[in-house]
Structure 1
Amino acid sequence: MTENNTQIQAKVAYQILQGFEKSYRWFTRITRGAQERFEQAQWQETHKAVKERIAIYEQSLSDVVAEIYQQIHPHQKDEAFWHGLKSAFMDTLDDHPQFELAETFYNSVIGRIFKHQRIDDSLMFVLPSRCFLPGRDREKVINAFDTSGTVRAMMESILSMYRFNTPFVDQEADLQSLDRALRQRLNREQLASVHTVELLKPVFYRSKSAYLIGRICMPDRTLPFVIALVVTHDRRLIVDALLTHRHDLSVIFGFARAYFMADTQYPAEVVAFLQELLPNKKHFELYNSLGHYKHGKTVFYRNFLNHLANSDDQFEAAPGIRGLVMAVFHLPSYGIVFKIIKDEFPESKKITREHVKECYRLVKMSDRVGRMADTHEYVNFRLPRHRVSQPLLDELLDVATSSIELTEDEVIIKHLYIERKMTPLNLYLDNETDETKIRHALNELGLCIKQIAAANIFPGDMLHKNFGITRHGRVIFYDYDEICLMHERTFRDLPKSDDPYALDTLSVSPEDVFPEQFEHFIVGKRHLKAILKELHPELMNPNFWRAAQEKSRRGEVQHFTPYDASKRFTR
């Protein structure tokens, strides 16, 4: 008997859900392994797990789409079939704990089938199928602790709840440090008013740290409550800090950091709780931070559509010096920049379009150590034509015409990246007059370059225009077209000679780098060069780069705490 459309729709909807759930089980299995990797100080395995978890999505998506093609001929189906398929898929999601992620997976399947030519809510979940009401599953993601006793008793209760298969170096000292830190933050009256301390059940693992994340609840306000833990080289546990300021939590969840490993079956509830702690973070940023970067893209797009509907400014070229590889534009009222690869590069850029894409993939797979902006890749991204300024449209058609398609109502960008907006460092330094802030920014610039190198990435083009500065004063690298792994460069000394033509006759390969020349081009103005050289003379020393290269070769994983060193407990 021939199956009717309803039966086929139900079967395909089930295939898609099964594909998603298989993918999520795989994702969860890797995430759950984070605790053992942390306890055993398996830092190389930690980095491998990060890469594997990012790759899961595309593999699962390809498998499901192949199964669907075995079941049906998609392009022989009419509109009604796809509308019915969406309805059938919605029926499978009743009370599903990851319904929002499943909807994004469904979108990816439809996008792959239609080659991302159809962005239509009747075919896919451009808008969510339901509103998520935080709180329904709150008890499934939260541990609440008794505050009627002493601070010390509460801290003991917390450390006994979150158990690790590795001993503390000195748990008594850690408990004393936690007690003292909280009493320094809250006076006696405030402590007496605390009625609840809540911590998320999942531990948040990233690189060499683990975080217990929650909040202190008082009648008139709540404060973040974060216990940061690290493992020593001999695999023993230390409480490194107690963080109770939103700024510290915001930096931990920064957009330039690697994704957390945090095991939960209720991601929407976890994100809702985090949003209450970090009201200035967008929902998509919090999903990204948990490693659900594909759903982060979906939530961003919804946020973007909502912003478009509630604003009227026009897209225009982003402030700063025009790039040689990317055309960059923004909507002034929105905190995102959009980047398109240009059609042609100048002779000085001996790279290809595919090389640029590979560089962005490399950053995605790397530990960004708080110094490299996360990016998201889109195809066939649509802008209302009337919102694109004519000068910008003219520029895009001039430098990136192969990526632009025009309709009467839309500008369709065939391939682009989005990235958090920052103030370009060169503009910041040009306009800042406070010498203390200038020194801080230049110190941050040097730290940024050093920490990227410690993460096994050579930044390549280190002109300060390729860095941005955040509202917290942190310098972030965001231009990736010349990055590479550290072992792909040879760091050489300049020849010592009285001959002014010695450098001209030196045999130089494309992989050769001369750090002693860095001072001439990282920053342009003489007094800025002097400050940078004073603060970070190592950057101009080939030995520093060779030592960093050797550490990467040996597989050493560096550790950079995202919070200020002054917050760390002394021992």
Structure 2
Amino acid sequence: MTEITTSVQEKVAYLILQGFEKNFRWFGRITKGAQERFEQAQWQATHQAVKERIATYDQSLSDVVAEIYQIIHPHQVDSQFWRHLKLAYVGLLDQHPQYELAETFYNSVIGRIFTHTVVDDALMFLLPSRCFVAGQDRNKVVNSFDTTGTVRNMLEDIFRIYRFHIPFENRERDMQNLDTALRARLSKEQLAAVHTVEILKPIFFRSKAAYLIGRICMPEETLPFVIALLVNDDKTLVVDALLTHRHDLSVIFGFARSYFMADTQYPAEVVAFLQELLPNKKHFELYISLGHYKHGKTVFYRNFLAHLDSSDDQFEAAPGIRGLVMAVFHLPSYGVVFKIIKDEFPESKKITREHVKDCYRLVKMSDRVGRMADTHEYVNFRLPRHRMSQALIDELLEVAASSIELTEDEVIIKHMYIERKMTPLNLYLEQESDPEKIENAINELGLCIKQIARANIFPGDMLHKNFGITRHGRVIFYDYDEICLMKDRVFRELPKSDDPFALDVMSVSPQDVFPEQFEHFIVGKRELKALLKQLHPNLMDPGYWRAIQQKAGTGEIHHFSPYSECKRFNSRWYSEKHHVDPNATQATNNS
């Protein structure tokens, strides 16, 4: 073993922290640019920034590891070096505003050096170095607004703080819409009881929207207070909605949406505030929603270990039809599924293992528009063997032996994806008897397919078993092994012939798709086929798909609102309900 001095350990510790801080600044520059991209309606640049920000982490990590190899040979030093290195690093994190993210970056360095074969809290941060106390930096991330005056005065105060460098399309109309909406949501007694409105200082940008996210504070209750903003083609600002229900906020922070751009130096405090608004969201989900997906993975793993300690159920194969490409299992008491690429695919799947990984990377880098589940990749993930039945172990060894390593106490999965658990749509439709819920699910299925396509992704295998449905009744796609960009497919009409074998003798390439056949395989039962065709007839029209393909080819970016259409101020539903002319300039209401 090479003899290492304390000064070398301190140098390496400082090098890792420098690497983290360089990455955080890079992350921050991209995030900070979101407001200008929003104001200038630079939607292609917005899309590129999302991909660039995701890629920064691995680039920074690679740079740091390469520099470490210039100082030491990591595999020629003993474990004592790594224990002392961690202690030196902890010393550097005192009073660091992003210490929790810096710990994850350190873990990533150790993981990269030892190819994720070392899992030891003495060498890395399996547990955080200290407990975070929420609220100690609350004033650095939250603005508070006086509510002793009129609602209108408070709204004016808000927009004096949250400034945009473009004009409102109709500022008077928007202030009045907000005033009316808040008064419609709160009773007179509630309005009188409001003592504070708090809004997070960072503006949350995603796709073509921006959100001011906060809460209305009353003695007996707290409600979300979210102002949603859009930019018109003429680069004028529009207040699109006021959201005050936790359901709406939960959907905005949904796991099938792209990460926010929200510029803050205190992510832990922002997450703590959001957790108070969304108590059903886990910490790791909120970190991920802010784009800190690597730290989200760390927090997930800690949460998962804690859950294992407090539960005793067994891992088992996930409900639903067995996949041709992925082996999927779950822990019934926990809200995720574990997906492992199988060693071999049937002849019908003319793809490779690397192709499957590329598809998952494509989804990670794409706008998931609320319709594609986020996935998180892990290597050498360790599970307690006594919690896995021998039947499940035998099944995994049969189909994915190259990804499984067994020890006396553990099942080590060399590569897998973790994804939010949902009810498979085929099982939901088999079990559901309420006609309205069935119709909603089929309508959601059609919308899901269409919105994915408009986001420039062709879903490929659209069998309804490859979709899940959330507790909110939203249909989400989760099987990515056959996805591709829209440009990579040719949408064709079926031949007009009485010959049932006409398609067999046509010249058909692997890129050809015949939408007229979709009605026969997306859903199985005759009545469900008829319902899908009734609700979404254009899904079976090649011309419809070519039109979407053409728009995607121009780089057009679509915006899909995460809240109901009826919540939008300029919608017909909202205008009729509140007797509002959405185009009119309305008088100020200071009552």
TM range (shorter): over 0.9
Q: C-alpha displacement at 1:135, in angstroms? A: 0.6
* Within-5 A mapping of 1:170-249: 170-249=170-249
* Within-5 A mapping of 1:121-132: 121-132=121-132
Deviations 1:369-418 (A, max 9, x none): 00000000000000000000111111001000000000000000000000
Q: Could you tell me which residue of structure 1 aligns to residue 338 of structure 2?
A: 338
Q: Could you tell me which residue of structure 2 aligns to residue 266 of structure 1?
A: 266
1:15 aligned to 2:5?
Answer: no
Aligned-residue CA RMSD (Å): 0.8
In 2: Cα distance, 1:270 partner to 1:357 partner: 33
In 2: Cα distance, 1:464 partner to 1:159 partner: 45
SS of the equivalent of 2:504 reads coil
Q: C-alpha displacement at 1:427, in angstroms? A: 0.0
In 1: Cα distance, 2:516 partner to 2:255 partner: 32
* Within-5 A mapping of 1:350-429: 350-429=350-429
Q: Is the 8 A contact 2:385 2:410 kept in 1?
A: yes
- AA aligned to 1:306 is A
1:507 aligned to 2:507?
Answer: yes
SS of the equivalent of 1:562 reads coil
Q: C-alpha displacement at 1:3, in angstroms? A: 9.0
Deviations 1:333-370 (A, max 9, x none): 00000000000000000000000000000000000000
In 1: Cα distance, 2:501 partner to 2:238 partner: 56
SS of the equivalent of 1:299 reads helix
- AA aligned to 1:177 is N
Q: Is the 8 A contact 2:442 2:532 kept in 1?
A: yes
Q: Could you tell me which residue of structure 2 aligns to residue 119 of structure 1?
A: 119
In 2: Cα distance, 1:344 partner to 1:502 partner: 32
1:438–1:136 CA distance, 2 compared to 1 (3 A): same
- AA aligned to 1:111 is G
- AA aligned to 1:316 is E
SS of the equivalent of 1:504 reads helix
In 1: Cα distance, 2:277 partner to 2:5 partner: 47
In 2: Cα distance, 1:3 partner to 1:504 partner: 71
Deviations 1:192-226 (A, max 9, x none): 00000000000000000000000000001100000
Q: Is the 8 A contact 1:258 1:289 kept in 2?
A: yes
Q: Is the 8 A contact 1:336 1:420 kept in 2?
A: yes
Q: Could you tell me which residue of structure 2 aligns to residue 83 of structure 1?
A: 83
In 2: Cα distance, 1:374 partner to 1:4 partner: 42
1:285 aligned to 2:271?
Answer: no
- AA aligned to 2:90 is M
Q: C-alpha displacement at 1:501, in angstroms? A: 2.4
Deviations 1:216-271 (A, max 9, x none): 00001100000000000111000000000000000000000000000000000000
Q: Is the 8 A contact 1:377 1:415 kept in 2?
A: yes
Q: C-alpha displacement at 1:499, in angstroms? A: 2.5
In 2: Cα distance, 1:109 partner to 1:336 partner: 26
Deviations 1:436-464 (A, max 9, x none): 00000000000000000000000000000
List, as ranges, runs of 4+ consecutive aligned residues in structure 1 with deviation greater than 3 Å. none
- AA aligned to 1:84 is H
In 2: Cα distance, 1:162 partner to 1:567 partner: 22
Q: Is the 8 A contact 2:343 2:400 kept in 1?
A: yes
- AA aligned to 1:167 is P
In 2: Cα distance, 1:390 partner to 1:434 partner: 39
Q: C-alpha displacement at 1:538, in angstroms? A: 0.7
In 1: Cα distance, 2:32 partner to 2:291 partner: 13
Q: Is the 8 A contact 2:3 2:77 kept in 1?
A: no
In 2: Cα distance, 1:330 partner to 1:214 partner: 35
In 2: Cα distance, 1:98 partner to 1:536 partner: 48
SS of the equivalent of 1:197 reads strand
Deviations 1:470-499 (A, max 9, x none): 000000000000000000000000011222
- AA aligned to 2:252 is I
SS of the equivalent of 2:392 reads helix
Q: Could you tell me which residue of structure 2 aligns to residue 34 of structure 1?
A: 34
In 2: Cα distance, 1:503 partner to 1:549 partner: 23
In 1: Cα distance, 2:377 partner to 2:277 partner: 28
Q: Could you tell me which residue of structure 2 aligns to residue 255 of structure 1?
A: 255
- AA aligned to 2:379 is V
In 2: Cα distance, 1:3 partner to 1:525 partner: 71
In 1: Cα distance, 2:337 partner to 2:205 partner: 29
In 2: Cα distance, 1:159 partner to 1:421 partner: 39
Deviations 1:130-188 (A, max 9, x none): 00000110000000000000001101111111000100000100000000000000011
In 1: Cα distance, 2:226 partner to 2:499 partner: 60
SS of the equivalent of 2:569 reads coil
Q: Could you tell me which residue of structure 2 aligns to residue 486 of structure 1?
A: 486
Q: Is the 8 A contact 1:466 1:479 kept in 2?
A: yes
Q: Is the 8 A contact 2:426 2:465 kept in 1?
A: yes
- AA aligned to 1:469 is I
* Within-5 A mapping of 1:439-458: 439-458=439-458
Q: Could you tell me which residue of structure 1 aligns to residue 555 of structure 2?
A: 555
- AA aligned to 1:364 is K
Deviations 1:409-430 (A, max 9, x none): 0000000000000000000000
Q: Could you tell me which residue of structure 1 aligns to residue 468 of structure 2?
A: 468
In 1: Cα distance, 2:253 partner to 2:341 partner: 28
Q: Could you tell me which residue of structure 1 aligns to residue 589 of structure 2?
A: none
In 2: Cα distance, 1:500 partner to 1:45 partner: 48
* Within-5 A mapping of 1:320-331: 320-331=320-331
Q: Is the 8 A contact 2:256 2:370 kept in 1?
A: yes
- AA aligned to 1:210 is A
Q: Is the 8 A contact 1:224 1:249 kept in 2?
A: yes
In 2: Cα distance, 1:4 partner to 1:406 partner: 35
- AA aligned to 2:343 is D
In 2: Cα distance, 1:59 partner to 1:221 partner: 45
In 1: Cα distance, 2:6 partner to 2:265 partner: 31
In 2: Cα distance, 1:396 partner to 1:158 partner: 55
Q: C-alpha displacement at 1:4, in angstroms? A: 5.1
Percent of matched pairs sharing the same residue: 79
In 2: Cα distance, 1:349 partner to 1:410 partner: 32
Q: Is the 8 A contact 2:4 2:77 kept in 1?
A: no
- AA aligned to 1:384 is P
In 1: Cα distance, 2:122 partner to 2:353 partner: 34
Deviations 1:32-53 (A, max 9, x none): 0000000000000000000000
Q: Could you tell me which residue of structure 2 aligns to residue 72 of structure 1?
A: 72
What TM-score, normalized to structure 2? 0.96
Q: Is the 8 A contact 2:284 2:299 kept in 1?
A: yes
Q: Is the 8 A contact 1:5 1:81 kept in 2?
A: no
What TM-score, normalized to structure 1? 0.99
SS of the equivalent of 2:224 reads strand
- AA aligned to 2:188 is R
Q: Could you tell me which residue of structure 1 aligns to residue 5 of structure 2?
A: 5
In 2: Cα distance, 1:84 partner to 1:502 partner: 73
Gaps of 5+ in 2: 571-581, 583-591
SS of the equivalent of 1:400 reads helix
In 2: Cα distance, 1:207 partner to 1:166 partner: 18
Gaps of 5+ in 1: none
SS of the equivalent of 1:503 reads helix
Q: C-alpha displacement at 1:500, in angstroms? A: 2.6
Q: Could you tell me which residue of structure 1 aligns to residue 25 of structure 2?
A: 25
Q: Could you tell me which residue of structure 1 aligns to residue 165 of structure 2?
A: 165
Q: Could you tell me which residue of structure 2 aligns to residue 316 of structure 1?
A: 316
